[in-house]
Amino acid sequence: MKHLSSRSDLDIDSLQVDVATVTFRNGEADAVVSFRPKGSTDPASAMQIRYTLERKGGEWVVKSRSEAGGSPHGGAPPDGGLPPGHPPVPESPSGQK
């Protein structure tokens, strides 16, 4: 939570933050954290981020992060993120969908 609080682009007071799993090994740990808007019960509104943490002094600090699905944070899924069954979206002249 200390790491998330330091981010100026994130309002953690508006999010439900849950630790889904944590795996410890020597001086590191891997944690999968689930984020969703407070009050939301829609599973589609949640996202999971995998954090690698390292022990520094008396606390755990974030070493790296990635989307729990395996693509780098901010990377677009290969299908453009469209829901199953959605018709294809034509490419614009600039080559972007």
Spell out the domains of the chain, with CATH numbers in brackets: 2-67 (3.10.450.50)
Query: 36: alpha, beta or left, given left = phi > 0 and alpha = psi -120 to 50?
Result: beta
Q: Which pLDDT score is estimated for 56?
A: 93
Alpha-carbon span 90 to 24, nearest angstrom: 46
Alpha-carbon span 36 to 43, nearest angstrom: 8
Q: Between the CA of residue 22 and those of 7, 44, 86, what are the distances in Å? A: 22, 22, 35
Question: Edge-to-edge strands of the sheet including 15-25?
Answer: 15-25, 28-37, 47-56, 59-67
Q: pTM surpassing 0.85?
A: no
Please name the residue that has the structure tokens 């999971």.
Answer: 48
Per-residue model confidence as pLDDT tens digits over 27-79: 999 999 999 999 988 888 889 999 999 999 889 999 998 876 543 444 444 44
| CA atoms within a 13 Å half-sphere pointing along the CA-CB vector of 72 | 2
Tokens of 59: 């606390």
